[in-house]
Amino acid sequence: MANQEIIDRDTYKKIKKMNREELTKFILKYGDELLGEQVKTIDLPALEAELSKIKGIGGKRLEEIMTVVEKFLDVE
């Protein structure tokens, strides 16, 4: 990771000239952009298969669980 360029030279120069308020705004904006790039996905069929292996979870209960999971993830 030491060789990976995270911030280019121009951005570095701008950061050096920033006051605390400007730097805080920059960091929050930059962090939001990075988080936006990190989209985690869930393989719902694989999740359902793993949940079905749990002792005591039958077909009906599994359907109810998957409905709740899909609702939580806003899956259509």
Establish if 2 belongs to a structural domain.
no
Establish if 67 belongs to a structural domain.
yes
pLDDT at position 14 over 80: yes
Establish if 61 belongs to a structural domain.
yes
pLDDT at position 65 over 90: yes
Mark whether 69 and 44 lie in a shared domain.
Answer: yes
DSSP 8-state code for residue 73: T
DSSP string, 35-57: HHH------HHHHHHHHHTSTT-
Residue-wise pLDDT tens digits, 16-63? 999 999 999 988 888 777 777 666 678 899 999 999 999 999 999 999
- Domain, as residue range, for 52: 40-76
- Total domain count, the chain: 2
Establish if 1 belongs to a structural domain.
no
User: How far is the C-alpha of 23 from the C-alpha of 31, rounded, in Å?
Assistant: 12
User: How far is the C-alpha of 50 from the C-alpha of 67, rounded, in Å?
Assistant: 15
Establish if 44 belongs to a structural domain.
yes
Closest to 12 in 3D by CA, of 28, 23, 21: 23
Establish if 70 belongs to a structural domain.
yes
Give the per-residue pLDDT at 17.
93
Give the per-residue pLDDT at 1.
47
